[in-house]
Structure 1
Amino acid sequence: MEFGILGPLEATAGSRRLDLGGIRQQIVLAVLLLDAGRVVTIGRLMEAIYGDDHPTTARAQVQICISSLRRLFAANGSPDLIATQSLGYAIQVAPDQIDMQQFHILVRRARRAKETRNANEAIKHYRDALALWRGPALDGIDSRLVQSAASRLTEERIAAHEECVQLELDLGRHHELVGELNELVDEHPLRERLRGQLMTALYRSGRQAEALQVYRDARRTMIDELGIEPNERLQQLEHAILTSDESLDLPVAPPKVEPSAPLTVPNVPGMLPTDIADFTGRTKQIDDIRQRLMLAGEERSRFAVPIVVIVGKPGVGKSTIAVHVSHRVGERFPDGQLFANLHGAASRPTGPMQVLERFLRVLGVPGTGIPDGLEERAEMYRALLADRRVLIVLDDAGSESQILPLLPGNPASGVIITSRSRLAGLAGATHVDVDTFDADQSVDLLTRIAGAERVRSEMEAAEALAELCGHLPLALRIAGARLSARQHWSIEQLVHRLEDETRRLDELKHGDMGIRASISLTYESAGADARRLFRLLTILDTQVFSAWVTAALLDRPLTDAQDLLDDLADAQLIETTGVGHGVHSQYRFHDLIRVFARERLAAEETPEERNAALARVLGGLLFLAEAAHRREYGGDYVQIHSSAPRWPLPQRLVDRLVASPLQWYERERSTLVSGIRQAAQAGFVELCWDLAISSVTLFESRVYLDDWRETHEIALATARQADDKRGQAAMLYSRGSLYITQQRFGDARGDFEAAVRLFRDIGDTQGVALVIRNIGFLDRVSGRFDDAEAHYRQALDIFRANGDQVASAYVLHNLAQLRLEFDDLPGAQRLLAEALDLSRSSGSRRVEAQVLHRIGQTYLQSGQSALAVEVLNEALLVVRNIGDPTGEAYVLHGLGVARLRRGEPAEAESALRRSLMLAGTSNEQLVEARVLLALGELCMNREDASQAVMYYEQALALFAKMHMPLQQARTLITLSDAHKELGDDDAARDALSRGLGLTDQLDPVVAAQIRDQLTHLMRRYGH
């Protein structure tokens, strides 16, 4: 048994929380636990319950409470927990049975580590200790004596927190501590040390004014509530902040930092873009940056992460420098490089939430393991980098708020940031200013791009060209590329074209000359159709776009649009990403050129033309998404579509684009997500929700749950605003499927019931069938088999009437699962034979694999393990061919069980371990639970019942988490067998008793069967 007093009083036996009875009984237990292992007199217990004025029956009431607690503990396997002594009672618990004692042990360890200058070890112990708290100690126990003791515990908690924070401040983690300290100060406004720590953290984070405001708030609070000034130490700290005293800097002689145990990360990220071959100049800046980064992890920089901010005007080459120097210092950071373009100049900059999702995925965190909140993602990110030497490159930052959550806590890592502003709020950062090229460097760059002989023959014109380009590297690069592509041009001819001042980009200029001259010159040199495409490409909010969108924008064949796209790429008005080839090629704008193109879009295209082009692109996107889904599933299975206009592409092109459906979805992920948002903004209601539901194929298969949730919230709100009932129903149905993926079965049922009502209102029988099929699934996993069969039969009738073979096959295979629950093997086999025929005739490989898996289960259940292995291997081939890791997890579980039944334990364990790994990656808890049961069976076969108990308990916890009472009851029967094997009859009976308590939640017929089985077993165990 375990007890908790660091929060509301609680007692647990195994995974069950015990009912502790009335308030008097809880007070008695609380007082005993506060003095665990020591005698508590009856007088003290009476005082705890009644205070100073206790009734004549007080002693008897205490004895009643003790008796009740003893009965409760005996019923849960601990009859001797409370001992009677001559003067009172004592509760005998081990230190690991009560959270208060665990807290004290961890704090003592932390303080010992601090004394030996092992800062990281001390912080770990402090944080582990603080994590034990669930709220105010003994919250809700109305006893003066108990609350007095609780106050002392709270004081110990605050003191430990202050000591931990101080160590982290000394390690330079001030950025991460600001939010936590703000919360602590709000909770404990009179704790002057916390105020001082918050002031220090803010000051070291470059937020001097906020630090001073904290002092002013403290002074006002203390005068108002206590009538005194802050203590001398806090006043001295205020003065030091006002004068920027050097004493506030990080300690010169820091605590010894022992390396903590490394986190296992599956790969070494290498996200840097390719270094540029014709890099020119910047020798001093490169040396300065290298020198700063080479300090990473050295004694002089052991507390502060080396941060370099490369600052300069647009087009000056900041990103080029960052990538170049990152490649040169790569050996200093052997654990990898992370890179993100933050698009700080865009109308929708990339937020830290998006960047952290990408970084965490690269560092090996599965999609379902990524937290929802920014703070939680940042904490996980810092933990993964805690003992690694990683270089993080953050390109085009717009503000400190984009940067701070992305900074590591480990001083052995380094950070390079590029920005158009200085980002002065990044305390301790080294700023490297990058100006334009000088004349020699400018001509050198032109020589590298346009050719040495050509530049030497027109040196004076080359120098004039460099001057007209403002010596900005981007402008020089574009001009040089034009010369290289137009061999018949002279440099002097280009100079004459640039001398027209009215064509210069005056927003970003160097003196009276700047980058617009280069961009405008290139733009004007393109043909009219290419210029129009250049403008229209900025309609999309995504940073990367595929070649096919050009055809939709221009409403022309892709071959024509591709030629224009190539012209723009040759002119360096756009650039290829290096991802994909041919029809799969992808392109992007440089940020500054994109700004220019949007200016031209607003000036040269009417709102009607812009709207029509956007509708065509989104219609084309929907057309391709539908085609990709049909290729993956063999039809519009699980899909609900609108009458929104599509922009059809030629079938031959479609076949090439979506030849690998999930790869196409992955390439178009950002276009799909931003397209749904743009459709909502433009008022394209049906396009919006149809695109959202058509994107679920990607979100579900790749576990992009953030995208799934965000797009559906947008589309649902848009449909509701437009009173589009079909759109609302479709989004509720699809969001319910998201909730199933997240095992939020209650939320899923709520969305499904609302969707059914809407579909019935509009007479959409297919929509009704799709939703009630999912309700049938919820019924089945919760053990309500009669309801499940009724829903499945109703859905099947509709699907057959509508001619939907794929959906019919899916429902048939679910009905077969119900037959298996009742051991009706012939009935299950008939249903599965029909389902297999339908899935194969419709070409739905995914449903075919599910049906084959279920057929394998029927063979297993009938004892034909050899046939089960044969058909499950066939299913395994299908799921691997279509790239379905979740399906592979299910099939491998079945194979593992089949191998086990055939007496092949080594092969069985291999399949089960692989299944468990895949299930964990995709957060398929149902598969995990089933695999754990199979591993328990494997251990029982090996006569290792104690290990089997561990696996069964883990499976039981997962089934409970998913609210699956039938599976819990069955697991408890298996668990009782394992306890019986160990000779623990009490534990075996307890498991069966717990199983009986679950039968009220089951379908009556199933409940009766389980109840009979449990009762029979309990009689066998003598109960």
Structure 2
Amino acid sequence: MTDQAVDVGGQAGASGNQFFGRQRELKALRADIERAGLDTISGRKAPRARVLLIAGRPGSGRTALADELARRLADDYPDGVLRTRLTEPGGRRVPMEQAARALLDSLSIASPPGADEDELTEMVREALAVRRTLLFLDDAGDAEQVDPLLPDNSDCLVLAVAQGPLTGIPDVRPCTLGGMDAKSAIELLRTFTGSVRITVDPQAAESIAEECGGLPAALVLIGGWLAARPRASVADVAKRLRGLPDVGEQPTSARPLARAFRLGYESLPPSAAGMLRLLALAPGGTADAHTASALVGCSVQAAGSTLHELAALGFLHTVAGPSSTAADVQYEVPGALAPLLRALMEAQDRPAEVQLARARMLERTVRQLRACRAVTEPDGSPAVKKLAGMPRALRFANAAAAAEWLRLRRPALLAAARLAVEDGDLDTLARRLVAALVRALAAHRGTEAAAPDLYGLHQLVLSVAQRRGLHREEAAALLNLADLDAQTGRAKDALVRYRAALDAGRAAHDPYATGRAMESVGAAHQDLGDWQRAADWYGRALAQRQTRGERADEARLYGRLGTAHTYAGRYGEALRSWRAAAAGYRRLGDLPSQARALSEVARVQEYAGRPEESLHTCREAVEWARQAGDARLQAALQLRLADTLDRLGDPAAARLHRATAGRLLGEEGSAYEIRSTSAKD
């Protein structure tokens, strides 16, 4: 995860990448790294990484200080700096599962979909146990968020940012931040105002630093106000700040930032003030021109200009570097300002207007996701034709541009889906958003790579479907979740979900979901080694397909039934099932599948102690493969014939068949693998 040029409460000036003051704190933190811990003093090797804690209120510059320290220490940790955030700007605690996945993604380690937080945090600790890494945990709520991620490796360093102490983690001394010293605070102001206005009235600049409590976030807001008004004097701002009354009951430490925010906010044009308030709705606290445009109902170009102005005034932070257009730049609502914006929105905007703004934002996101997916479709497809009719601002130049957009927006898009479902009043939009996001992720990343995200999205669909009594969608979500459970080896969890999907499918009178669920219940029992139950459920699914005349599924299920009987050692029933499968494929004209089914008949005959019949059936399968024109399958069957002849004591004939297989393969490589259907193979 990349560091941000300007972070929450950061001590960045107008240039966006300068750091001011805090030299005493940096020196103390460096000394704390070198300080012997309790384990070292007692003569034992430290079992875990050292934890450095920077504590302070939002807006105190705690994250900026951590950024600077991480930058200075980076060369000491050759395996890099890993960073994740444990609290969103709006105050929501990031689930441990989500934080752990973010760290694993940074390490390019695939995380299994549906894994719980204990499994994922263990994967993080195991990965860091063999690395020399600096782990940066930003905005931690308490020790419970930090402790599961601590690597059992004294060569790593954990740098945590929090509002208070991390009680429960041993050997941690917090570096507690207050305000900046006056000299550093004035230097920060100077980056916005230039040196002349500060030099003319240094006493007024000191007064501003005092009124702001030395808080970098407050100083940035005042600096932005002054930068936008080159004719205003520093003394005028100091007078205005002193004249602002406190609103409501606020802690003394929170008043300087609240006054600085109020001074800047009340100076905004109504349109910009309205946009700023509604940015409290931005998913994950991040927004771009499209998000802002949808929230307030203006053009994308106008929204981009307003966002740029708000960032210049210190109300927003730029979190993605400038790209081809202003619409591509992302902005973040500082965590210190998020509660103030939400309070203003709740006080000044009517609930119906807020809900309408949220709906517009979700609708815009759905359209962007559809465009993102459509650009991957072949020319002339219905999706591409529909894409051509979309506004130019919503379209992507090519698939690469769409993939990059999806990569950058992925955290915000996932947050948007979660918030839409949690809202409860916009379920139709929420369902469309989740569906569009699933398709876009699958199109650009592939279902396997996107599986962890898809698992969470299917869970969101399930919650909406259960809340609204949408049994068909409930069944589909349960089937998708169960499939992912089965793919990651959680057969018992998959079985529970497949049974629930069967109940939902029956409630929806959906024959497809019901049949699919019955077959999948059988597959889950097969994975668990319960061949009798597997065969029973395959039989139920087969009976349903037969009543509906679904011949292709019927033939396939005969094959699955034959597999279960083979594993159970019931060779007579297995032979009947595989022969029925072969007959079904013959009626369908599917010659390759018919040849494979006959190959399985031959395999079962061999298991049953009937080698001559097995040899005859295998030759028949070879002939059908030849008629199908499938050289690789024919070669695989020739090899099967050779193995059978070896067992029958005819090595010369076996060599001939192997030579035939070699000629068939030529330069195509190895033959198809015809999988074993019995543990005896």
TM-score when normalising by structure 1: 0.48
User: Could you say which structure has the larger radius of gyration?
Assistant: 1
Q: Quick one: which of 47, 52, 61 aligns to 1:317?
A: 61
- Which of 450, 461, 465 aligns to 1:719? It is 465
* Residue 538 in structure 1 maps to residue 276 in structure 2: no
Higher relative contact order (CA 8 A, sep 6+): 2
1:330-354 CA-partner distances (Å, limit 9, x unpaired): 2222221111222277442113222
Q: 1:502 aligns with which of 245, 250, 260?
A: 245
Give, in whole Å, the separation in 1 of the partners of 2:232 and 2:676.
80
Partners of 1:898 and 1:750 in 2: CA distance: 47
Pick the aligned partner of 1:458 from 192, 201, 213.
201
Aligned twin of 2:9: none
Alpha-carbon contact 1:280-1:444 (below 8 Å) kept: yes
Task: Within 5 Å, give how 1:870-949 maps onto structure 2.
Answer: 901-903=665-667
Where does residue 296 of structure 2 map in the other structure?
554
Determine the C-alpha separation between the residues in 2 that align with 1:898 and 1:295: 69
Match of 1:968 among 661, 667, 676: 676
Distance 2:230 2:35 in 1: 48
How far did residue 667 of structure 1 move?
3.4
Quickly say closer, same or farther: Cα 1:605–1:516, change in 2 above 3 A: same
Aligned partners of 1:302, 1:857: CA distance in 2, in Å? 67
CA offsets 1:372-399 (integer angstroms, 9 cap, x no match): 2322222222222223221111111111
Q: Specify which of 83, 96, 99 is matched with residue 355 of structure 1.
A: 99
For residues 903 and 633 of structure 1, do their structure 2 counterparts lie closer, same or farther at Cα, with a shift above 3 Å needed? closer
Alignment match, 1:610: 354
Look up the match of 2:392: 652
Counterpart check, 1:822 vs 2:594: yes
1:620 maps onto 2:364 in alignment = yes
Paired letter, 1:675: A
- Deviation at 1:371? 7.4
Partner deviation per Cα, 1:897-944 (whole Å, 9 max, x = no partner): 99993348xxx6xxxxxxxxxxxxxxxxxxxxxxxxx5xx79xxxxxx
Going from structure 1 to structure 2, the CA distance change for 1:737 and 1:564 (only over 3 Å counts) comes to farther
Give the one of 260, 267, 271 matched to 1:518: 260
5 Å-filtered alignment, 1:141-540, equals 271-274=2-5, 277-294=17-34, 302-303=45-46, 305-343=49-87, 346-368=90-112, 372-502=115-245, 507=250, 509-510=252-253, 513-540=255-282
Contact 1:305–1:415 (Cα < 8 Å) also in 2 = yes
Q: Given the alignment, which residue of 430, 434, 438 partners 1:688?
A: 430
1:563 maps to amino acid = S
CA distance in structure 2 between the partners assigned to 1:402 and 1:497 by the alignment: 41
- Paired AA for residue 393 in structure 2: L
Residue in structure 2 matched with residue 263 of structure 1 by the alignment: none
> Within 2, Cα distance between the matches of 1:384 and 1:741?
23
Q: Which among 270, 294, 314 is matched to residue 572 of structure 1?
A: 314
Residue pair 2:90, 2:338 contacting (<8 A) in 1 also = no
Residues matched between the structures, number: 550
CA distance in 1, matches of 2:40, 2:144: 29
1:858: how far off? 4.5
Q: Distance in 2 between matches of 1:817 and 1:774?
A: 27
What amino acid does structure 2 have at the position aligned with 1:292?
A: D
Instruction: Using the TM superposition, give the Cα deviation of residue 436 of structure 1 relative to its aligned residue in structure 2, in angstroms.
Output: 0.8
Q: 1:777 to 1:396 in 2, by over 3 A?
A: closer
Q: CA deviation at 1:421?
A: 0.9
Moved more, 410-419 or 538-547: 538-547
Separation (CA, whole Å) in 2 of partners of 1:659 and 1:538: 31
Task: Decide whether the 8 Å contact of 2:5 with 2:319 is kept in 1.
Answer: no
Equivalence for 2:412: 671
Counterparts of 1:493 and 1:336 in 2: how far apart (Å)? 47
Q: 1:291 to 1:442 in 2, by over 3 A?
A: same
Report the CA distance shift for 1:452/1:576 in structure 2 as closer, same or farther (over 3 A): same
Taking a change above 3 Å as real, the CA distance of residues 757 and 794 of structure 1, as seen in their structure-2 partners, is farther
- Change in Cα spacing, 1:818 to 1:428, as seen in structure 2 (3 Å) is farther
Q: Which amino acid aligns with 2:286?
A: V
Give the secondary-structure state (helix, strand or coil) at the position aligned to 1:502: coil
- 1:324 is displaced (CA, Å) by 0.5
Q: Structure 1: any 5+ residue segments left out of the alignment?
A: 1-269, 640-647, 762-767, 796-814, 825-855, 865-896, 909-933, 939-954, 956-965, 973-990, 996-1023
User: For 2:26 and 2:664, how far apart are their aligned partners in 1?
Assistant: 62
Indicate if the aligned counterparts of 1:689 and 1:731 stay in contact, CA closer than 8 A. no
Q: Structure 1 residues 819, 741: closer, same or farther in 2, change over 3 A? A: farther
The separation in 2 between residues aligned to 1:576 and 1:294, in whole angstroms, is: 35
* Structure-2-length-normalised TM-score: 0.70
Corresponding letter in the other structure for 2:21 = G
Query: CA shift at 1:755, angstroms?
Result: 6.2
CA pair 347-406 structure 1, distance change in 2 beyond 3 A: same
RMSD between aligned residues: 4.3
CA distance in 2 between partners of 1:310 and 1:817 (Å): 71
**2:449 aligns to what?**
703
| Alpha-carbon distance change, 550 to 858 in structure 1, aligned in 2, over 3 angstroms | farther
Is 1:590 aligned to 2:298, yes or no?
Answer: no
Alignment of 1:37-56 (within 5 A): none
Structure 2 counterpart of 1:586, one-letter code: Q
Verify the 8 A CA contact 1:729 1:758 in the aligned structure 2.
Answer: no
CA contact (8 A) 1:458 1:491 kept: yes
Answer with 495-504 or 426-435: which moved more.
495-504
Q: Distance in 2 between matches of 1:514 and 1:419?
A: 20
- Separation (CA, whole Å) in 2 of partners of 1:433 and 1:474: 17
* Equivalent position of 1:839 in the other structure: none
Contact 2:114 2:455 in 1 (8 A): no
Residues 340 and 709 of structure 1: CA distance in aligned 2, closer, same or farther (over 3 Å): same
Q: Secondary structure at the match of 2:396?
A: helix
Q: Quick one: percent identity of the two aligned structures?
A: 23
Q: Distance in 2 between matches of 1:331 and 1:821?
A: 59
Write the distance in 2 (CA, Å) between the matches of 1:428 and 1:751.
Answer: 48
Distance 1:494 1:519 in 2: 13
Deviations 1:843-875 (A, max 9, x none): xxxxxxxxxxxxx995644779xxxxxxxxxxx
Aligned-pair distance for 1:515? Answer: 0.6
Unaligned ranges ≥5, structure 2: 7-11, 527-534, 555-586, 597-627, 637-660
Summarize the Cα distance change of 1:568–1:702 in structure 2 as closer, same or farther, 3 Å threshold: farther
Q: Is the 8 A contact 1:399 1:423 kept in 2?
A: yes
Asked if the contact 1:443/1:462 (under 8 Å) is kept, the reply is yes
Q: What is the one-letter code of the residue matched to 1:290?
A: R
Cα offset for 1:528? 0.6
Q: Flag the 1:591–1:606 CA change in 2: closer, same or farther, 3 A.
A: same
Deviations 1:876-899 (A, max 9, x none): xxxxxxxxxxxxxxxxxxxxx999
Q: Secondary structure at the match of 1:327?
A: helix
Amino acid at match of 2:666: R
C-alpha displacement of 1:519: 1.3
- Structure 2 CA distance for partners of 1:448 and 1:662, relative to 1, 3 Å: closer
Structure 2: distance between partners of 1:662 and 1:324: 32
